[in-house]
Amino acid sequence: MVSHFAEQKILPVAKNVKDFETLMYSEYTYIILLETHIAQLPSLMKLAKQNQKKVLLHVDLVQGLKSDEYAAEYLCQIVKPDGLISTRAPVVRIAKKRKKIAIQRVFLLDTHALETSYRVIDSTQPDYIEILPGVVPPTIIKEVHQHSSVPILAGGLIRTHTEVQDALKAGALAVTTSEKKLWNRKIN
């Protein structure tokens, strides 16, 4: 599979509209929008398009919208982000069906969560898996990738350049982070 993200090793996460607007003037092509209100989405997508940015929208955190297959259909057909991120399998399936980048977000808290995540991943066949927290042991990133053959994004609790490098060395394709100091750091 060819990565959508090319050489972009950091996927900056905008936690709010101000962060999103700041990222419009960054070198990044792909940006993750974490939290927003449904009424803000049309203007934010328009702004992104004007600035040649591609938005990956975290569906579960859109206020005023239930995170289900109907919401995913609405977002794909009306709002038109470049991709959807969700912990919910039906949302990921709709993203794939509508030819959007489909990212399955999984929280790896323990062995049970890991095994449950494998079942979800096997059923959704996402384009990417976002593992949280991204500071899991490197062996876990490798194991999830070997199990699924799906490219891995590491996110959550990554705060230092060393942690970014560790996740990438372990096999993550890129790191998702809201840590602004990491946005300005060139990653090889």
Rounded mean pLDDT, 131-157: 96
Q: What ranges do the domains of the chain cover? A: 10-181
Query: What digits encode the pLDDT tens for the residues 13-25?
Result: 999 999 999 999 9
Is 78 buried (19+), middle (13-18) or exposed (0-12) by CB count in 10 A? exposed
Give the residue from 186, 183, 188 showing the smallest Cα distance to 30.
183
Kindly report which listed range (5-9, 29-33, 41-45) carries the lowest average pLDDT score. 5-9
Rounded mean pLDDT, 121-130: 97
Query: What digits encode the pLDDT tens for the residues 68-98?
Result: 999 999 999 999 999 999 999 999 999 999 9
| Residues of the chain above pLDDT 90, percent | 95
pTM over 0.85: yes
> Which pLDDT band holds residue 7 (cuts at 50, 70, 90)?
confident
Rounded mean pLDDT, 172-187: 90
Q: Is the pLDDT of residue 166 over 70?
A: yes
- What is the C-alpha separation between 112 and 117, in angstroms, rounded? 8
* CATH code reported for the domain at 10-181: 3.20.20.70
